[in-house]
């Protein structure tokens, strides 16, 4: 009896706080891979990026429900690739080609639709160009899916600065209540089936919806009372000049981040993308720092940005920087030609740069994600 009780009190092993990687580091890593994917259409490099992201996700994602989103993003990426190829076949492509694969019946269009055609010749060059373009977009989606599968959304929202405290609380409440609503619907439908009552159709929806809304209202009232008891919504006195400066810095910084990100993701804006992005990040951080004075708060057991987080984020940033440098120095290697058709070659040092994306698999313990 004593031995059994002692065995029952054996603590379950949990990941140490020092091994937990900051959720923001996973997002920086994934966005770095996405920026790198946007600088090339070489299918071999894109395949390496997908393989690296998939390996890190397969070895480090947890069993939480939000960690299962990677499969959905992979299916979405495959669907985008198929749709891009279908559009190239049906709507044609501006890429000239001499290798005709099939000739579809062409639908005549009015004069105001010049430049668009339905049907006609389908060339190998146009299909290969659409394949490269679709692979790049699919890789971007897979990188975003890797971030969603590896980064804990609750921990990420907990790390928001004080200026975004209200937004973070609203998102956390939404993320908490949505699964509860789904669980309530499933529980009530199962109960109605056991009682022999209909759970489908308009009648079943109405009779299930009322208890679900009632339960959601009760949880909302209880949450509001708990938040009020803990002092939520109380703000500190801040001068008007500080509030206006905060709004200007935050808005200008976010606009700079959007413009800089667009420049990094497009080949035409590569020259101005990085400086504008850096200026926007600095301005936004300054605005958020000033805005945090309005709602001072503390965090219980905050996630540290430790050496592992720097290595994870740095590996993604290194991939983005090295592929951007390779695209500027040797664009032919990162953008294989389709007219005339040539087999893509694997450039050695850009491929080695992509392999840096596997660094999180080596430095992050599997149980920490």
DSSP 40: -
Domain assignment present for residue 1? The answer is no
Domain assignment present for residue 235? The answer is no
- Give tens-digit pLDDT for 82-121: 999 988 888 877 777 777 788 777 777 777 766 677 777 8
> Are 290 and 314 members of one domain?
no
Domain assignment present for residue 12? The answer is no
- Give tens-digit pLDDT for 155-193: 777 777 666 666 666 666 665 666 667 677 777 778 877
Domain assignment present for residue 48? The answer is yes
Is 26 within 8 Å of 152 (Cβ atoms)?
no
- Provide the domain limits for residue 52: 20-153+308-368
Domain assignment present for residue 271? The answer is yes
Domain assignment present for residue 252? The answer is yes
> Are 244 and 315 members of one domain?
no
Q: Is 198 helix (H, G, I), strand (E, B) or coil?
A: coil
In this structure, what token pair is assigned to residue 27? Answer: 């997002």
> Are 285 and 315 members of one domain?
no
> Are 337 and 246 members of one domain?
no
> Are 31 and 140 members of one domain?
yes
The verdict on pTM exceeding 0.75 is no
List the one residue out of 367, 354, 264 whose CA is nearest residue 44: 354
Domain assignment present for residue 216? The answer is no
> Are 280 and 314 members of one domain?
no
Measure the CA–CA gap between 188 and 52, rounded to whole angstroms: 43
> Are 254 and 332 members of one domain?
no
- Round the average pLDDT of the chain to a whole number and report it: 78
Residue 229 has pLDDT above 50, yes or no: yes
Domain assignment present for residue 89? The answer is yes
Number of domains in the chain: 2
């Amino acid at each position: 009896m004593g031995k059994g009780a002692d065995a029952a009190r054996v603590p379950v092993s949990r990941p140490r706080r020092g091994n937990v990687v900051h959720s923001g580091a996973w997002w920086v890593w994934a966005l770095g891979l996405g920026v790198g994917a946007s600088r090339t259409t070489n299918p071999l490099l894109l395949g390496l990026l997908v393989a690296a992201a998939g390996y890190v996700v397969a070895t480090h994602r947890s069993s939480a429900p939000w960690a299962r989103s990677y499969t959905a993003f992979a299916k979405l990426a495959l669907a985008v690739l198929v749709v891009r190829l279908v559009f190239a076949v049906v709507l044609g492509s501006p890429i000239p080609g001499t290798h005709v694969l099939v000739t579809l019946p062409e639908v005549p269009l009015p004069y105001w639709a010049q430049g668009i055609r339905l049907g006609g010749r389908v060339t190998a060059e146009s299909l290969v160009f659409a394949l490269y373009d679709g692979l790049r977009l699919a890789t971007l989606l897979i990188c975003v899916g890797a971030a969603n599968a590896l980064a804990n959304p609750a921990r990420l929202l907990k790390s928001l600065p004080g200026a975004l405290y209200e937004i973070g609380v609203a998102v956390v409440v939404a993320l908490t209540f949505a699964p509860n609503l789904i669980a309530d619907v499933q529980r009530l439908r199962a109960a109605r089936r056991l009682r022999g009552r209909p759970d489908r159709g308009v009648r079943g929806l109405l009779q299930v919806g009322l208890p679900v809304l009632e339960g959601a209202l009760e949880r909302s009232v209880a949450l509001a009372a708990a938040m009020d008891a803990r002092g939520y919504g109380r703000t500190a006195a801040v001068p008007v000049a500080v509030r206006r400066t905060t709004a200007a810095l935050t808005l200008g910084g976010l606009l700079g981040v959007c413009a800089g990100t667009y420049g990094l993701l497009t080949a035409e804006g590569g020259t101005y993308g990085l400086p504008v992005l850096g200026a926007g990040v600095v301005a936004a951080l300054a605005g958020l720092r000033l805005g945090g004075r309005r709602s001072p708060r503390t965090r219980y057991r905050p996630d540290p940005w430790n050496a592992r987080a720097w290595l994870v984020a740095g590996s993604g940033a290194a991939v983005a920087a090295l592929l951007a440098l390779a695209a500027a120095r040797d664009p032919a290697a990162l953008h294989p030609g389709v007219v005339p058709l040539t087999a893509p070659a694997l450039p050695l040092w850009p491929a080695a740069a992509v392999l840096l994306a596997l660094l999180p698999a080596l430095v992050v313990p599997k149980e920490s994600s």
